[in-house]
């Protein structure tokens, strides 16, 4: 059976034009996908955890699903300071259920933006985000800036589908109608296709963004001759390109959120784009990594008022990144149990946080053997959302798209497992 | 033993992403237990196949790989368990640890990178 218009459940580009060939209940092939999506979809059956597992002194041993739900409910109910973490690779419906569970047990809840675009959230809360959809970029953008990101590796079809090589209504010559600028600390496959490559000094983003803003508002005379490894003349040229564009867009990645002054970089990028909008039309968009990390931020915000790092232990939602963010509460050894859903924090958190994860009861709802399952005390295998379970996901431009289920699974979905845990806790209460 | 101070950045690569759901595979190990460096830096330190990267919190041994486009005073490690083993909390006020622009020293070594299971085992001690 050939299934068309399948949505790829890998990155925030959420490409919705895949063609999947299914025979019986097995995926045989995928077309129109990048290497990342291909490996995830075709490799869906490789290395799966086949049954719920619990750790004792001798290692992991199989238990029934019912017993696993029971153990999960007990761990969460007995914890004084639980944390629920992950959420970016599951559906909005499951995330909504996760918030319900967090409210019920008075948990901290955080999502993967905390080690990704968390500073973006802080920056845009201070300064706003003049933005647009990827459709507008495709049809209108004649100046595309990729700042601190490498879409060739992290979002391989982004340039082809939305920004660079594609033809749009006002950009019907495709690549010839667009100027591409890449800003990074090292050459990359993305910088090789750029018209202009600004190789900046590490950590100098804030200085360079503010220098461009100064030039654009007419205060360029106060700048030194070189900023962050780039000459003032070259920055004046870039500022001219920005002002003279018909429709410009800055896509930015973790090269901006993770370096130097982090959230302040994003605030200054937003101010730059706002100033550009006095002259022309310009937009700003984060390159979101996991396919539904944007959805996690949206669902968290509908239900609690805040997009990540939320403490629900007080009976109301309390949000203070730097205090309630996952790495902080772990490194301070506050957290005494953790539920991980659709994520691998042992692979992607920093050393002091992982040391705490090794000390406390860790429940992982996870389809594959991962770094987190190596430390987990209880593992509940799950259907893979976007392949074996359907639901809603948000693209990086915050457009909701329905991800499909195209094969059956013997495992329950994240949504069903979280529902079962809530029902079990209700029975105890 | 020659040592050199560098800035460490971590990030995605396509190979790291391709095998991210298969963390115990050889392909994921090859993709992430690797340190990309400028060829001149490799020659200067007489690094053969492996490099030891030290930060304020820990040290890790990685396979050394040449990369042309990277500046001489910078090293790049694909995101994952090996890179993060040597990263500290260093969050400032944003809740975001520093995954890029971290101070590090590098030196040649004859040791080999740890397998994932052994690496994670270090956290249990």
Residue of B53, B85, B94, B101 to mutate, interface with A, max A Cβ within 10 Å: B94
CB pairs under 8 A between A and B: 169
- Residue A132 — φ and ψ, nearest 5°? -160, -175
Best mutation site among A201, A350, A370 for testing chain B: the one with the most B CBs within 10 Å?
Answer: A350
Residue A216 dihedral angles phi and psi, to the nearest 5°: -70, -35
Cα gap B69→A153, rounded to integer Å: 15
pLDDT digits (tens, 9 = 90+) for A24-67: 999 999 999 999 999 999 999 999 999 999 999 999 999 999 99
pTM (predicted TM-score): 0.96
Position B90 confidence tier, pLDDT thresholds 50, 70, 90: confident
The chain A residue lying nearest B86, using CA atoms, is A351
Contact by Cβ (8 Å): A405, A384: no
- Residue B62: φ, ψ to 5°: -135, 160
Q: For residue A66, give every residue at least 6 positions away whose Cβ sits within 8 Å of its Cβ, in sequence order, or none.
A: none
The C-alpha atoms of residue B119 and residue B14 are separated, in whole angstroms, by 23
The ipTM value here is: 0.97
Q: Where are the alpha helices (DSSP H) in A91-187?
A: 92-105, 118-127, 134-140, 151-154, 158
Q: Do residues B107 and B76 lie in contact, with contact meaning Cβ atoms separated by under 8 Å?
A: no
Compute the nearest-CA separation of B108 from chain A (Å).
23
H/E segment holding residue A170: none
B59 at interface of A, judged by CB pairs closer than 8 A? no
Which residues does chain A have within 8 Å of residue B56's beta carbon, measured at their own beta carbons?
none
Q: Containing H/E element for A361?
A: none
Those residues with Cβ within 8 angstroms of residue A74's Cβ, 6 or more apart along the chain or in another chain: none
**Helix, strand or coil, per DSSP, at residue B103:** strand
CB A425 within 8 A of CB A400: no
* Chain A residues with beta carbon closer than 8 angstroms to that of B117: 374
Between CA B121 and CA B119 the distance in angstroms is 5
Contact A113/A307 with Cβ under 8 angstroms?
yes
B23 chain-A contacts, CB cut-off 8 A = 344, 347, 368-371
For A85-106, write each residue's pLDDT tens digit: 999 999 999 999 999 999 999 9
Give residue limits of the domains in chain B. 4-122
**Cβ pair B58:A351 closer than 8 A:** yes
B1 touches chain A (CB under 8 A): no
Residues 6+ apart with CB under 8 A from A108: A81, A82, A83, A84, A102, A309, A310, A311, A312, A313, A324, A326, A329, A335
| CA gap A117, A197 in Å, rounded | 23
B116, closest residue in chain A (CA to CA): A371
> pLDDT by residue for chain A (429 residues), tens digit each?
999 999 999 999 999 999 999 999 999 999 999 999 999 999 999 999 999 999 999 999 999 999 999 999 999 999 999 999 999 999 999 999 999 999 999 999 999 999 999 999 999 999 999 999 999 999 999 999 999 999 999 999 999 999 999 999 999 999 999 999 999 999 999 999 999 999 999 999 999 999 999 999 999 999 999 999 999 999 999 999 999 999 999 999 999 998 888 999 999 999 999 999 999 999 999 999 999 999 999 999 999 999 999 999 999 999 999 999 999 999 999 999 999 999 999 999 999 999 999 999 999 999 999 999 999 999 999 999 999 999 999 999 999 999 999 999 999 999 999 999 999 999 877
Query: Alpha-carbon distance B75 to A178, whole Å?
Result: 32
Residue where the block lists tokens 């029975």: A427
The topology (CATH level 3) of B4-122 is: Barwin-like endoglucanases (2.40.40)
Secondary structure E strands in A348-388: 362-365, 378-380
Please tell me the distance in Å from A348's CA to the nearest CA on chain B: 6
- Residue A344's closest CA among B58, B77, B79, B90? B79
């Amino acid at each position: 059976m050939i299934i068309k218009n399948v949505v790829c459940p890998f990155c925030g580009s959420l490409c919705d034009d895949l063609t999947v060939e299914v025979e019986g209940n097995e995926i045989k092939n995928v077309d129109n996908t990048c290497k990342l999506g291909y490996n995830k979809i075709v490799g869906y059956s490789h290395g799966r955890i086949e049954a719920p597992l619990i750790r004792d002194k001798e290692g992991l041993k199989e238990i029934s699903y019912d017993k696993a739900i029971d153990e999960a409910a007990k761990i969460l109910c007995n914890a004084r300071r639980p944390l629920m973490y992950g959420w970016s690779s599951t559906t909005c419906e499951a995330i909504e259920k996760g918030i319900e569970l967090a409210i019920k047990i008075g948990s901290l809840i955080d999502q993967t933006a905390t080690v990704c675009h968390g500073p973006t959230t802080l920056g845009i809360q201070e300064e706003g985000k003049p933005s647009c959809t990827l459709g507008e970029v495709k049809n209108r953008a004649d100046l595309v800036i990729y700042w601190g990101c490498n879409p060739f590796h992290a979002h391989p079809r982004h340039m082809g589908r939305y920004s660079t090589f594609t033809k749009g209504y006002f950009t019907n010559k495709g690549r010839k109608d667009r100027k591409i600028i890449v800003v990074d600390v090292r050459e990359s496959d993305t910088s090789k296709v750029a018209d202009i490559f600004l190789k900046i000094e590490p950590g100098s983003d804030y200085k360079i963004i503010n220098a461009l803003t100064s030039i654009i508002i007419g205060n360029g005379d106060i700048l030194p001759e070189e900023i962050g490894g780039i000459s003032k003349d070259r920055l004046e040229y870039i500022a001219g390109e920005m002002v003279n564009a018909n429709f410009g867009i800055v896509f930015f990645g973790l090269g901006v959120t993770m370096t130097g002054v982090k959230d302040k970089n994003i605030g200054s990028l937003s101010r730059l784009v706002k100033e550009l909008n006095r002259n022309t039309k310009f937009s700003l968009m984060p390159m979101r990594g996991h396919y539904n990390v944007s959805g996690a931020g949206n669902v968290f915000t509908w239900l609690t008022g805040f997009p990540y790092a939320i403490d629900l232990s007080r009976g109301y939602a309390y949000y203070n990144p730097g205090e309630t963010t996952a790495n902080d509460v772990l490194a301070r050894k506050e957290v005494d149990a953790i539920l991980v859903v659709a994520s691998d924090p042992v692979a992607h958190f920093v050393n002091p946080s992982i040391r705490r994860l090794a000390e406390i009861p860790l429940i992982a709802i996870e389809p594959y053997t991962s770094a987190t399952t190596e430390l987990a005390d209880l593992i509940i295998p799950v259907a893979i959302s976007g392949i074996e379970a359907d639901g809603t996901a948000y693209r990086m431009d915050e457009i909701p798209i329905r991800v499909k289920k195209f094969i059956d699974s013997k495992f329950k979905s994240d949504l069903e497992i979280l529902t079962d845990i809530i029902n079990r806790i209700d029975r105890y209460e | 033993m020659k040592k050199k101070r560098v800035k460490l950045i971590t990030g995605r690569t396509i190979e790291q992403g391709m095998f991210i759901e298969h963390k115990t595979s050889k392909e994921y190990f090859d993709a992430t237990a690797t340190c990309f460096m400028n060829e001149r830096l490799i020659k200067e330190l007489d690094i053969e196949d492996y490099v030891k990267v030290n930060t304020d919190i820990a040290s890790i041994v990685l396979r050394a790989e040449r990369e042309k486009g990277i500046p001489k005073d910078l090293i790049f490690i694909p995101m994952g368990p090996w890179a993060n083993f040597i990263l500290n909390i260093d969050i400032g006020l944003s809740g975001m640890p520093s995954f890029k622009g971290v101070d590090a020293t590098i030196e040649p070594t004859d040791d080999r990178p740890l397998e994932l299971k052994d690496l994670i085992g270090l956290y249990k001690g």
